[in-house]
Structure 1
């Protein structure tokens, strides 16, 4: 019997898979747990997340308010903390077991990075706090308590942690963090090699260096993003993103922003990279917040080939909708003159 010829497109796919770099297996970091946002106006920022975004207050402690999205199984999704300047504080990653936590701590220490054990968040056990090479604070943990909703927030379905909110957009969960970094490639190599993330997409500029890279710990297409900081600064935030149920929720969020005076930076429209439908707004402290609907896109392939975009491809802007505005490349927190 004559050999069946291999279709040309299958040959190309095999070549892409072969070119995909070998990385640690997914699983030690189970998911993005929660993030901390600094703001000089905490009362206004907390009100924004309650009234406009639809989060609820889980607890308060000193200068910090612990907020949660309705579909989070843990105590909090977001910590809002008073600081003189806006920006990103701690990003917490939950590990799948204590053994997985110990493996990731050892892997981070093997890079020469240091850290310390703390126990300073409600309903969370020991956290090992370190920094990525750009200076963003990261925390690894495993022990946590499942949220028990009070009677007024009790859901109608027992497999849902909390009733859906009756106010604001009603975002479902914290989706991803997009950092600004002076050296994207070095910083993301640390996240990939030491923390076990998988890169899914990246931008390689004409001079060869990496301008942005998207990583995932799950079958979502991305959890942590690093974008080049054009100011040459370190440790800054580009945006914090929350996922909605539907695209229509994004449109409703734009109408609510118009009605309530929330500043819309750009959107709604669709990214080419990761295909996310989005809206960017600023919270009162000056941090950029994204409302996004990426829920339909998963990376199920265990050997997903890293997708690389060129500078010319990115110059085309978004997939459709408005062109990318200048502030999207220049605004970050804390602000840099």
Structure 2
């Protein structure tokens, strides 16, 4: 049975592991323009200026890069309890923790590939200190005066050994709607884009060509406009940030993008999908064929090989 639409309100935040915590913090603050909003030992909490919660990103020191948890805020306490019951009845039960500042209890579970998900309801709204107070009271924080100044955490792209099984976990147990997918000539689903909101996508699963489980393709931050992405490319070459590919435009989801690597080795996308919304409650799932995907991006250079092979943690 499909869960009620809206039990998951939105993506709350995500966690990255990095072998170089200081350099990663510098990348997200100096280059992307996030603000540090607390630290606990080897874990640093950062936020985008337009996020209303305590943090948008958690950076934790580890020997290898990769993804920690993806946190999803529910639309109510009742919605949280409904999702927990559904997960447990489906054999995907987990545990309750309370281990992040500004957030109440989180229910930890995993998708079939082993990616950790944290569901929560209780969350305190951010109150900016005097030096970060905005001029407009309907904005949580003043716009940053450094770096790109990304607006919010936009989406997560998981690598998966079985795309369909993981996508159906999001659909049947969490209430995500699929919007677009890639079907190979064999009939296999190689990628699927899903949304919890009226954005065209919040979560993506793409096939891990190594056959590994639990890896990350990228996390993405939304910019105010396309020009911010062009400016990011200029800032990257001035500051030594590695550009993997872009700026180009995706055919799927029509996102204008730039992909870079943060110092820990994780791929980060800067994207501008803000003008594309899925408002139809009966939106039809768009399927792209293998032949159609061979055409590459909507425009820009052909997709480079590392886009299909690089993921974190790395494999031999």
Instruction: Pick from 226, 238, 257 the counterpart of residue 217 of structure 2.
Output: 238
| C-alpha distance in structure 2 between counterparts of 1:167 and 1:279, whole Å | 18
| C-alpha distance in structure 2 between counterparts of 1:198 and 1:26, whole Å | 8
1:45 is paired with a residue whose SS is helix
Give me the TM-score of the superposition, normalised by structure 2. Answer: 0.99
Partner of 2:267: 288
Instruction: Pick from 180, 185, 188 the counterpart of residue 206 of structure 1.
Output: 185
Whether 2:21 is the aligned partner of 1:42: answer: yes
Unpaired runs of 5+ residues, structure 1, are: 1-21
Partner of 2:172: 193
Number of equivalences:
316
How far off is 1:24 after superposition? Answer: 3.3
| 8 Å CA contact 1:181, 1:236 repeated in 2 | yes
Give me the TM-score of the superposition, normalised by structure 1. Answer: 0.93
Deviations 1:79-133 (A, max 9, x none): 0000111000010000000000000111111211120000000010000000000
1:35 is paired with a residue whose SS is strand
Q: Following superposition of structure 1 onto structure 2, how do residues 297-312 of structure 1 map, counting pairs within 5 Å?
A: 297-312=276-291
Deviations 1:267-304 (A, max 9, x none): 00100000000000000000000000000000000000
Partner of 2:226: 247
How far off is 1:62 after superposition? Answer: 1.0
How far off is 1:257 after superposition? Answer: 0.2
Q: Following superposition of structure 1 onto structure 2, how do residues 98-177 of structure 1 map, counting pairs within 5 Å?
A: 98-177=77-156
Larger radius of gyration: 1
| 8 Å CA contact 1:177, 1:224 repeated in 2 | yes
Deviations 1:129-162 (A, max 9, x none): 0000000000000000000000000000000000
Instruction: Pick from 235, 238, 246 the counterpart of residue 259 of structure 1.
Output: 238
Which 4+ residue blocks in structure 1 deviate beyond 4 angstroms?
none
| C-alpha distance in structure 2 between counterparts of 1:325 and 1:65, whole Å | 32
2:103 is paired with a residue whose SS is coil
| C-alpha distance in structure 2 between counterparts of 1:27 and 1:190, whole Å | 16
2:174 is paired with a residue whose SS is coil
| C-alpha distance in structure 2 between counterparts of 1:213 and 1:335, whole Å | 22
| C-alpha distance in structure 2 between counterparts of 1:256 and 1:23, whole Å | 44
Deviations 1:212-251 (A, max 9, x none): 0001000000001000000000000000000000000000
| C-alpha distance in structure 1 between counterparts of 2:293 and 2:117, whole Å | 29
Deviations 1:18-59 (A, max 9, x none): xxxx84332100000000000000000000000000000010
| 8 Å CA contact 1:28, 1:100 repeated in 2 | yes
Unpaired runs of 5+ residues, structure 2, are: none
Partner of 1:182: 161
How far off is 1:210 after superposition? Answer: 0.4
| C-alpha distance in structure 1 between counterparts of 2:77 and 2:70, whole Å | 19
Instruction: Pick from 31, 50, 62 the counterpart of residue 52 of structure 1.
Output: 31
How far off is 1:318 after superposition? Answer: 0.2
| 8 Å CA contact 1:23, 1:198 repeated in 2 | no
| C-alpha distance in structure 1 between counterparts of 2:189 and 2:4, whole Å | 23
Whether 2:21 is the aligned partner of 1:31: answer: no
Deviations 1:196-221 (A, max 9, x none): 00000000011111000001000000
Partner of 2:60: 81
Partner of 2:197: 218
1:49 is paired with a residue whose SS is helix
| 8 Å CA contact 1:37, 1:87 repeated in 2 | yes
